[in-house]
Amino acid sequence: MIIPVIMAGGSGSRLWPLSRQLNPKQFLRLADDRLSMLQATIERLRGLEIAQPILICNEQHRFLAAEQLRQSGMDSSRILLEPIGRNTAPAIALAALQIVQEKGDAIMLVLAADHLIKDISAFHSGIHTALQLADAGKLVTFGIVPKQAETGYGYIEKGDTLPDGSYTVRRFVEKPNIETARNYVRSGNYCWNSGMFMFRASRYLEELGRFQPTILAACKSSLDGAKEDLHFIRVDHDVFVACPEDSIDYAVMEKTSDAVMVPLDAGWSDIGSWSAVWEVSAKDGHGNVFSGDVMEQGTRDTYVHADSRLVATVGVENLVIVETKDAILVAHRDKVQEVKNIVERIKSENRTEHINHREVYRPWGVYDSIDNGQRYQVKRITVQPGAKLSVQMHHHRAEHWIVVSGTAKVTNGDQTYLVTENQSTYIPIGQIHALENPGVIPLDLIEVQSGTYLGEDDIVRYEDKYGRT
């Protein structure tokens, strides 16, 4: 039995403004109108003999990850929460330790949650080849057969050819310059480094302990101090933060003598930029990719994503235009790698457009900040059936709720009552209160906040069904 381990960390800053710190690319529908990148990763595993996957993600993304797993029918999947990113070697070590603890030993298939693979049959064939090698104690990496020279990927040089068509690994090399990349591709001796792996959990831990014992010790200690909450496993914060940061390539794969590579020609992409999204998307007769409400006149080879309004283009070509409710990106397709520089400037100027969208997802639903001023803020709030916001209090703001559709069960001090469509209620400053949807349809309401401070950190929680503090 194979246990998939899906790494869902990362911020995806090169796909701003759609990808944000609290809603990064692995949770977005980029190459598929139906599925997020994470859900597509799960979907392509169907047909294989696998156990429920283990997901590794940042604690900030736990409810978003859990909901997408639920939608994919993976309700009982375990979710390992990292309090802070420490690169891939520690993350995979946490999963391996958890597998050994629960299963004794098993073969891990380590995948990234934000990759695209078009040829599922070729992907499954590569996994079957890797399974035999992993079962024999090898540490398998998947090398992508390159179609052209790329400077955005690391490369793996082939060693000796094995009977099944795989190779020993001669060496890993860093992202090359363009001329070096061309030489690699022309030689036929190199594959792109996909960042996907397969091995027995015990073998990975054995090699990690040999080459990076400090990382292994820190991961063991942080997991020993873990706390379980629903399907979440929260490792010890202080111990894990002190863990050395390293990639699996540097920590293990470059050092072990048991590394082998299975070549994979399966239409793979890491969707690392807007130009990559354009390349893998279906295009019209003029090379355009349009998503949302778009009108064009004389436009060629252009990507447009319209999130909330009409976007019109006239006489342009080779552009990327991405519109969201609070930001618009216009970039030449050849310059989209520099989007991350804009994100850094947003951070340095203490703005917030890199953190979240105007729409913010919570375990109970979603809210959209539709207007704000010096002493007021207006939100549209949707609470899912059966969901409940925490029992809470605010020191600096009062709230007025107007129900648009559905029924709200309101706790307001020592009173509990129902508020239905076109009715409203008022929550004074300092009043302990709660909001719940007791019905079977979503509850939509307008919240008007007023006060001297309207920040999200002005929340004192007394009770929360989702484990938030």
Among 269, 299, 326, the domain-final residue is 269
Q: Would you state the pLDDT for residue 401? A: 98
pLDDT tens, 222-273?
999 999 887 799 999 999 999 999 999 999 999 999 999 999 999 999 999 9
Nearest to 201 by CA among 72, 305, 95: 95
Q: 453 and 312, same structural domain?
A: no
Q: Which of 345, 379, 395 is the last residue of a domain?
A: 345
- Whether residue 278 lies inside any domain: the answer is no
Same domain, 96 and 188: yes
Across the range 457-467, mean pLDDT stands at 89
- Tokens found for residue 103: 């299963």
Neighbours of 384 (CB within 10 A): 16
Number of domains composing the chain = 3
Verify that 113 and 136 share a domain, yes or no. yes
Name the one residue in this structure whose structure tokens are 């990975």: 204
| Shared-domain flag, residues 335 and 395 | no
Cis peptide before 17 (omega within 30 of 0): yes
| Per-residue CA distances from 16 to 30, 269, 323, 346 (Å) | 12, 18, 10, 11
Residues 305 and 366 in one domain: no
Average pLDDT of 356-367? 89
Helix axes 201-211, 213-224, angle to 10 degrees: 120
* pLDDT tens, residue by residue, 14-60: 999 999 999 999 999 998 889 999 999 999 999 999 999 999 999 88
Same domain, 445 and 374: yes
The predicted-structure confidence for 127-159, as pLDDT tens digits, reads as follows 999 999 999 999 999 999 999 999 889 999 999
Distance CA 99, CA 2 (A): 11
What is the rounded average pLDDT of the residues 425-436?
97
Please check whether residue 350 lies inside any domain of the structure: no
CATH number at residue 384: 2.60.120.10
Would residue 277 count as lying in a domain? no
**Secondary structure class of 166 (helix, strand, coil):** coil
pTM: 0.88
Distance CA 309, CA 324 (A): 8
Reduced to 3 states (helix: H, G, I; strand: E, B; else coil), residue 111 is: strand
Is 332 in a helix, a strand, or coil? strand
Task: Looking at 292-351, list the stretches that DSSP marks H as alpha helix, in order from N- to C-terminal side.
Answer: 339-348
- Same-domain status, 315 and 449: no
- Domain of residue 221 covers 2-269
Residues 312, 375 share a domain: no
Vertex 420: Cα angle to 414 and 423 (nearest 5): 85
Is residue 174 a part of any domain in this protein? Answer: yes
Give the per-residue pLDDT at 209: 97
Question: Token pair of 383, please?
Answer: 């609470």
Partners of 190 in beta bridges: 157
Task: Provide CB contacts within 8 A for 290, sequence distance 6+.
Answer: 284, 296, 304, 306
Decide if pLDDT at 75 tops 90. no
The verdict on residue 129 lying in a domain is yes
Residue 195 shares a structural domain with residue 303: no
Nearest Cα to 271, choosing from 450, 447, 10?
A: 10
How many CB atoms neighbour CB 373 within 10 A?
Answer: 9
> Do residues 379 and 259 both lie within one domain?
no
Query: Of 269, 303, 318, which marks where a domain is finished?
Result: 269
In a domain, residue 201? The reply is: yes
User: 193 with 328, same domain?
Assistant: no
Residues forming beta bridges with residue 143, ordered by sequence position: 193, 263
Do 321 and 431 fall within a single domain? Answer: no
In this structure, what CATH number is given to the domain that contains residue 45? 3.90.550.10
386-413 average pLDDT score: 97
Rounded CA gap, 408 and 310, in Å?
34
